[in-house]
Structure 1
Amino acid sequence: MTLTQDRKTDIQQRFLRVDTANVADILDEMGHLDCGLASDLWPIRERLERMAGWAYTIRGQMTPYPGTGDPKKMEAVSGLTPGHLSVWSGGGAEGVCFFGELIARGMQLRGCTGALVDGGIRDIEWLARMDFPVYARYRTPVQSIGRWAVNAWQVDIYLPGATSARVRVRPDDFILADADGALVIPQEIVETVLERAEALTEKEARIREDLDAGMSLPDVLTKYGHV
């Protein structure tokens, strides 16, 4: 899929105005039944976090190594461009953080729209002060240096799923997340899903107006059908 940067920005901004619940329903209708991510990928600020962006994948694994840094992590992050959302695959690692405040600030300066981390994060208080949404599996003060290292980026990865053990995420698939959870939208159908989700959002707004005006729920369902 080849889209201009302006078009990508427009799509990203429009997705921020629809709910994951509506998008999940559209994906089901289109036959994409396993796009939801596991519920333990949770935002650091539950009621404030909403994020959308084009997946920039980063993969790593637990592995002991000498030295005082992870050069590949720095190289991977340097490839982020505006509209990307960093997606970190940790291979099920437990107990160490993949990034904290400083690397998040670097990503934000590059135009990254958020982070989805199948692993740990730290510096929670500082991250919470930034206008930078983060979803992660767990929190820990223990750094990754010497313990966990990036081994690839912008490759296909797996994340734990809601209705399947794994969900495949490819570079430039689309990530949408809000207080209900996170979804992966295959890049080939992003625009179709968005248009249908916007139509469903408008339909639900009319339903709320009718309910507020006194219409009964059975009458609403007769008028609009299942939603």
Structure 2
Amino acid sequence: MANDFTPEQRKRIRERYLRVDTSNVADVLDTLGYLDQGLSPDFRPYPREAGQLAGWAYTVRGQMTPYELGGDADKMQACQGLSEGEISVWSGDGQGICYFGELIAIGMKERGCLGALVDGGVRDVRWIGAQKFPVYARYRTPVQSIGRWKVNAWQIPVYLRGATTPLVRVRPGDFILGDDDGVIVIPFEIVERVLDEAEGLTQKEVQIRARLQEGLTLAQALEQFGHV
């Protein structure tokens, strides 16, 4: 599990994942029999230039619940548990509302959180972008969650919309990787194996690109290096 790694090991693993693409990670997961780890293409970076999302999952779940205005104490309590190197993963049945905005993003960042993955909405996009805090969400909206959507659990397995399956399970400690191609979930049991093999694929692609620039044809490159 991620909890079995020391803080330094967690940091180093994350740094290495930042140097591989989600596409290579997805290919490795396929070869290992994990065929449904990709999230829905509806997940996009906010702002558009937010950059990569990489870190250990800290899960939060909520649901549509009418209540009086005045804040969501459970949401604030959930965010207090975030720690260095984690990604806050937000799930639930919210529709048309944001799960959080600029101020909570600032609070998460202060605790060492490295970004957010939101199966719902986000607002204050411009100001979150100024914080250099990457957020991947399904949509943006100015409508707040207070009075409409309420956190009811955290640090439990949650389910997010998938690319090849209706839902993808995300557990505390799974690894989240997002880039221009989308978002993928790496189960914590195989996080190192997937990383090692994805790095191998990445190196092979570097060699292929170099040979193509030297004048090798694509057919020749595939014959030499095999399918990638």
The gaps in structure 1 that reach 5 residues or longer are none
Per-residue CA shift, 1:53-93, capped at 9, x if unaligned? 000000000001124000000000000000110000022x2
Instruction: Tell me which residue corresponds to 2:148.
Output: 147
Q: What TM-score do you get using the length of structure 2 for normalisation?
A: 0.97
Instruction: Tell me which residue corresponds to 2:138.
Output: 137
User: What is the alpha-carbon distance in structure 2 between the residues aligned to residue 48 and residue 95 of structure 1?
Assistant: 22
User: What is the alpha-carbon distance in structure 1 between the residues aligned to residue 125 and residue 215 of structure 2?
Assistant: 45
User: What is the alpha-carbon distance in structure 2 between the residues aligned to residue 17 and residue 48 of structure 1?
Assistant: 16
User: What is the alpha-carbon distance in structure 2 between the residues aligned to residue 32 and residue 186 of structure 1?
Assistant: 9
Instruction: Tell me which residue corresponds to 1:29.
Output: 31
Query: Following TM superposition, by how much is the alpha carbon of 1:47 offset from its aligned partner in structure 2, in angstroms?
Result: 4.5
Identity score, percent: 59
Instruction: Tell me which residue corresponds to 2:52.
Output: 50
Query: Following TM superposition, by how much is the alpha carbon of 1:45 offset from its aligned partner in structure 2, in angstroms?
Result: 3.2
User: What is the alpha-carbon distance in structure 2 between the residues aligned to residue 65 and residue 141 of structure 1?
Assistant: 19
Matches within 5 A, 1:22-101: 22-91=24-93, 93-101=94-102
> Contact 1:46/1:179 (CA < 8 Å) preserved in 2?
no
User: What is the alpha-carbon distance in structure 2 between the residues aligned to residue 48 and residue 122 of structure 1?
Assistant: 14
> Contact 1:60/1:151 (CA < 8 Å) preserved in 2?
yes
Deviates more, 1:64-73 or 1:209-218: 64-73
Query: Following TM superposition, by how much is the alpha carbon of 1:95 offset from its aligned partner in structure 2, in angstroms?
Result: 1.3
User: What is the alpha-carbon distance in structure 2 between the residues aligned to residue 198 and residue 224 of structure 1?
Assistant: 15
> Contact 1:47/1:179 (CA < 8 Å) preserved in 2?
no
Find the residue that maps to 1:190 and give its secondary structure.
Answer: helix
> Contact 2:89/2:117 (CA < 8 Å) preserved in 1?
yes
Instruction: Tell me which residue corresponds to 1:199.
Output: 200
Q: What TM-score do you get using the length of structure 1 for normalisation?
A: 0.98
Instruction: Tell me which residue corresponds to 1:127.
Output: 128
Instruction: Tell me which residue corresponds to 1:190.
Output: 191
Per-residue CA shift, 1:102-133, capped at 9, x if unaligned? 10011111111110000111101111222110
Find the residue that maps to 1:204 and give its secondary structure.
Answer: helix
User: Does residue 1:171 correspond to 2:172, yes or no?
Assistant: yes
Deviates more, 1:124-133 or 1:97-106: 124-133
What stretches of structure 1 move > 4 A for 4+ residues in a row? none
Find the residue that maps to 1:95 and give its secondary structure.
Answer: coil
User: What is the alpha-carbon distance in structure 1 between the residues aligned to residue 49 and residue 221 of structure 2?
Assistant: 29
The residue identity in structure 2 corresponding to 1:133 is: P
User: What is the alpha-carbon distance in structure 1 between the residues aligned to residue 14 and residue 125 of structure 2?
Assistant: 26
> Contact 2:39/2:183 (CA < 8 Å) preserved in 1?
yes
Query: Following TM superposition, by how much is the alpha carbon of 1:48 offset from its aligned partner in structure 2, in angstroms?
Result: 4.4
Relative distance call for 1:47 and 1:102 in structure 2 (3 A) is: closer
Per-residue CA shift, 1:162-205, capped at 9, x if unaligned? 00000001000110000100000000000000000011111100
Matches within 5 A, 1:13-28: 13-28=15-30
> Contact 2:50/2:133 (CA < 8 Å) preserved in 1?
no
Find the residue that maps to 1:210 and give its secondary structure.
Answer: helix
User: What is the alpha-carbon distance in structure 2 between the residues aligned to residue 174 and residue 41 of structure 1?
Assistant: 16
The gaps in structure 2 that reach 5 residues or longer are none
